[in-house]
Amino acid sequence: MKKLLKHKGIVLPLDISNVDTDVIIPKQFLQIVNRNGLGKYLFYNWRFLKDDINKLNYNFVINKIEFKNSSILLTRNNFGCGSSREHAVWSLLDFGFKVIISTSFADIFYNNALNNHLIPIVLKEKIIKKLFVLVYKNPGIKFTINLQKCLIIINKFNLKYSFSINKFQLYNLINKLDHINLTMKYEKKIKDYENKQLKYIF
């Protein structure tokens, strides 16, 4: 499996705090168990008019032409708050987002993101403010995310910002390991341990 080392993409500025999971993907779509195709319902109540998927709300930033094909979402504090639903992460990924940059995330959303290889980056509020100004003045600007060095690189302005992710979580992210395949990686050791325990049980 190819490692997740870097990502370069257009930045979409979602200048809103406390974006909850019901906004990210409304409850009526939680019955869908296949994560493929969930992207079309992302921010459903904001992207579309009158609950009609064929009527785009062009006042919503995600529908603006200058941010087409964005893969990095820049947002405000407490992103992903509300109820626990992995569908929120799935819909973001299926839409095309690879990175979310915020001042803070809800804990469950943050862990779901890491487990699904959506990169959640936390920066100080003063840096987030600077980045919003930068993106608004330069729509379509691209950031490069270097996971190995934990850096956000903005080549156009020769800027670099560091971030941190727990070493274990970063290892899993780079190597695209989730809870299941991480467990399978140690399958032999687990079986050996279980066999040893059986000797003491019987």
| pLDDT tens, position by position, 109-152 | 999 999 999 999 999 999 999 999 999 999 999 999 999 999 99
**Nearest in space to 93 (alpha carbons), one of 32, 178, 25, 150:** 25
Quote the strand ranges of the chain, DSSP E.
Answer: 6-14, 48-49, 52-56, 72-75, 99-102, 119-122, 142-146, 151-154, 159-162
Contact indicator for 10, 69 with CB cutoff of 8 Å:
yes
| pLDDT tens, position by position, 36-45 | 999 999 999 9
Distance CA 145, CA 160 (A): 10
pTM over 0.85: yes
Say which CATH architecture domain 6-175 belongs to. Alpha-Beta Barrel (3.20)
Q: What 3-state class would DSSP assign to 165? A: coil
Contacts of 47 (CB under 8 A, 6+ apart): 56, 57, 60, 62, 63
The angle at the Cα of 90, spanning 96 to 59, to the nearest 5 degrees, equals 55
